[in-house]
Amino acid sequence: MSKRMNKPASKHWLEMLARWGYTLMLLLLIVLGLTWSLQRIQDPSVIPVRFVKVEGEVRYLNLDQLQAVVNRVVEQRSFFSVTLAQVLAEVERLPWVDRASIRRIWPDTLQVTVIEQQPLARWGETALVNRRGEVFAPQPMPDVSDLALLEGETQDSMAISRDYQKIETLLQTVGLTLAKVQVDARQAWRLWTRNGLELNLGRKQLMSRLSRFARLFPALNDADEARLKRIDLRYTNGFTANWEALPVRQSMLDDPALGVEASRLAGI
């Protein structure tokens, strides 16, 4: 008959302590290893950002300026420690950047995808406005003399841009292109087309007044000896039109009275 031999209690506790000791040591080594690895990957000399890749169609954006902005943010940062949100914020502060996105490409590249501002028109002499009516002022200003000039209060830029696009679309149906739009503090509109025609719209019923003019424009513009110069649309049921004699045609005429502006009420 065999007897079960019980291990002394002290020896049992020593074995448990040893197992716990090994486990704690292993965990400590893992923590130390992770800490060391984290410090290493945050060291810019170990895994630096070497390249900035720009994606997107750009016409006006200065790529050297964009590169300098990104370099300033990632300086003294590693590939992993650079804060993409900070890079994005700095890139989107550039006047010609409408929107952007940033991502890492292993092992040493940041890809910057840019959507450039699309200028709708000039805003005053020193700024531009996009299709959403947001005013931005790039420096230096590019040559955008082909764009219309909008003048008005900056706080009204969204409303002015919205109505300008509607007006431009309507006038293009009769072959007219806007060169300048002026909206004063009273919200009164005055337009100038590229062929020199001035239209005074006033403050109210802009589109209905222009629609009335557009219906009659082909007949008003069908004069061989004179050019339509000025239209005043601030009337309830009609408008006034002014013509000026064409220089070449007038030089062939003996009657000097033809050189005087002609005016009549139309559209009633």
The model's pLDDT over 220-260, given as tens digits with 9 standing for 90+, comes to 988 777 889 999 999 988 899 999 887 754 444 445 444 44
The model's pLDDT over 194-226, given as tens digits with 9 standing for 90+, comes to 999 999 999 999 999 999 999 999 999 887 778
The model's pLDDT over 148-191, given as tens digits with 9 standing for 90+, comes to 999 999 999 999 999 999 999 999 999 999 999 999 999 999 99
DSSP, res 76: T
Out of 3.40.190.10, 3.40.50.11690, 3.40.50.720, 3.40.50.300, which CATH number does the structure's domain 119-266 have? 3.40.50.11690
Q: Give the tokens for residue 118.
A: 């699309």
The CATH class given to the 51-116 domain equals alpha beta
pTM equals 0.77
Find out whether 49 and 83 touch, Cβ atoms under 8 Å: no
Distance from C-alpha of 198 to C-alpha of 178, rounded to nearest angstrom: 10
Find out whether 161 and 150 touch, Cβ atoms under 8 Å: yes
pLDDT at 57 over 90: yes
- Domain 51-116 and domain 119-266 have a common topology: no
The residue written with tokens 């149906």 in the block is: 173
Task: Compute the average pLDDT of residues 27-36.
Answer: 57
In which order are the strands placed within the sheet that holds 189-193? 135-136, 127-130, 119-123, 149-151, 178-183, 189-193, 198-202, 226-232, 239-245, 262-266
3-state secondary structure 214-265: HHHHHHHCCCCCEEEEEEECCCCCCEEEEEEECHHHHHCCCCHHHHCCEEEE
Distance from C-alpha of 232 to C-alpha of 242, rounded to nearest angstrom: 9
How high is the pLDDT of residue 81?
86
Task: Compute the average pLDDT of residues 20-42.
Answer: 60
What is the domain partition of the chain in residue ranges? 51-116, 119-266
The model's pLDDT over 117-160, given as tens digits with 9 standing for 90+, comes to 999 999 999 999 999 999 999 999 999 999 999 999 999 999 99
Distance from C-alpha of 117 to C-alpha of 98, rounded to nearest angstrom: 5
pLDDT at 108 over 60: yes
